[in-house]
Amino acid sequence: MMKQAMPVKEQQLGPNLTFYDLHPPTTDMLAEVSQSLSAPRPHLNPKYFYDEAGSRLFDAITATEEYYPTRTEAALLEQFSGEIQHKLGPTVTIAEPGAGSCQKVRLLLERWSPQRYMPLEISRDCLLTATRQLSRDFPDVQISAVCADYCQALSLPGDSQPGGQVVFFPGSTIGNFEPAERQQFLRGLHHLAGPGGALLIGADLQKDHSRLNAAYNDAQGLTAAFNLNALHHLNQALDCHFDVDNMRHLAFYNDTAQRIEMHLECLQDQQLQLGDTLLTLKSGTRIHTENSYKFTVEGFSRELVDAGFTPRGCWTDTDNLFSLHLASTD
């Protein structure tokens, strides 16, 4: 993570809602996609899953029978939020990088009654919509909404400077980082929490391979549609001419790397238009779209220690599908 020193635009949008726009940097989409697809091992950044259609598909995936992480984590928070709060003591501020629709934090806002909630989200529209509703639902919580790239270490605006905050990073997103990137990101969360702060983070656990493979190959085909949607997104944004009907979704557990891999496989030769460049994809070519690493409780706890945290507790379901970790910065 790098320090971000960007001009801040501040707007007071309501009695308990302040919006800070840190003007997150935009990438050259065409250049990034061209470089990724031209690599010896073609790949795409998983952020391209998430246009409006992709976000709807992901929400639908989380409700499938096969996809256990979302409901398992929700049950853990429901069951253990009181115990976690007891370990933390009074919570002044909850900060949530990549807050999205701000749905998962609602239980903590209800149970913990913090003074402040600080969601960080790169999508202005998503952040505005979510926090306007949240400010109405929780009028006693001061909401400092920060539009920023949460993969950057932030110099936070106003009186939301790092220090004594509980950073909430739910879901299995931490598993999408490569090991070196993951360690760097965890150190960034340590910085965000600040002295006297803490981290509450979700981590998906290693388990029977059939259970893992099923979670990423649901019977309804929603994960397949979600994976393929990256190509629809690029066709719309860049007019790439992907023949999506002749691509197929592949997802499998790589036991050696201890991760789920998602790929898109080309079923016949096709030619892409990337700006002024033509790129041929041969039949059988695989485009690597995502990794999702799976952890042991002990292994992930060691990663937290390596990032400067002190583990304070871990909670898992009875089937050991998913884990919640609490760690302090001191």
- DSSP 3-state assignment of 251? strand
Q: How many domains does the chain have?
A: 1
Per-residue pLDDT of the chain (330 residues; tens, 9 = 90+): 444 455 678 899 999 999 999 877 777 999 999 999 999 999 999 999 988 899 899 989 999 999 999 999 999 999 999 999 999 988 889 999 999 899 999 999 999 999 999 999 888 888 999 999 999 999 999 999 999 888 764 556 655 555 579 999 999 999 999 999 999 999 999 999 999 999 999 999 999 999 999 999 999 999 999 999 999 999 999 999 999 999 999 999 999 999 999 999 999 999 999 999 999 999 999 999 999 999 999 999 999 999 999 999 999 999 999 999 999 998
**Is the residue at 156 inside a domain?**
yes
pLDDT of residue 2: 41
The full DSSP string for 89-144 is -S--EEEEET-TT--TTHHHHHHH--SEEEEEES-HHHHHHHHHHHHHH-TTSEEE
The full DSSP string for 231-247 is HHHHHHHH-----GGGE
* Reported pTM: 0.92
**Is the residue at 173 inside a domain?**
yes
pLDDT of residue 246: 98
**Is the residue at 212 inside a domain?**
no
**Is the residue at 13 inside a domain?**
yes
The count of residues in the chain is 330
**Is the residue at 39 inside a domain?**
no
User: What DSSP element (H or E) covers 260?
Assistant: strand 259-266
Q: Find out whether 141 and 114 touch, Cβ atoms under 8 Å.
A: yes
**Is the residue at 90 inside a domain?**
yes
pLDDT of residue 154: 54
Instruction: Kindly tell me the sign of the dihedral angle through the C-alpha atoms of 270, 238, 251, 243.
Output: negative
User: What DSSP element (H or E) covers 209?
Assistant: helix 209-215
24-54: b or e for each residue (b if 16 or more CB lie within 10 Å)? beeeeebeebbebbeeeebbbebebbbbeeb
Residue 89 sits in which domain range? 3-26+64-207+296-328
- The residues with which 266 forms a beta bridge, in sequence order, are 247
**Average pLDDT over the chain, rounded to whole?**
93
**Is the residue at 145 inside a domain?**
yes
**Is the residue at 122 inside a domain?**
yes
Q: Find out whether 89 and 196 touch, Cβ atoms under 8 Å.
A: no
* Cα distances (Å, whole numbers) of residue 104 to 110, 242, 314: 11, 35, 18
Return the CATH number at 159.
Answer: 3.40.50.150
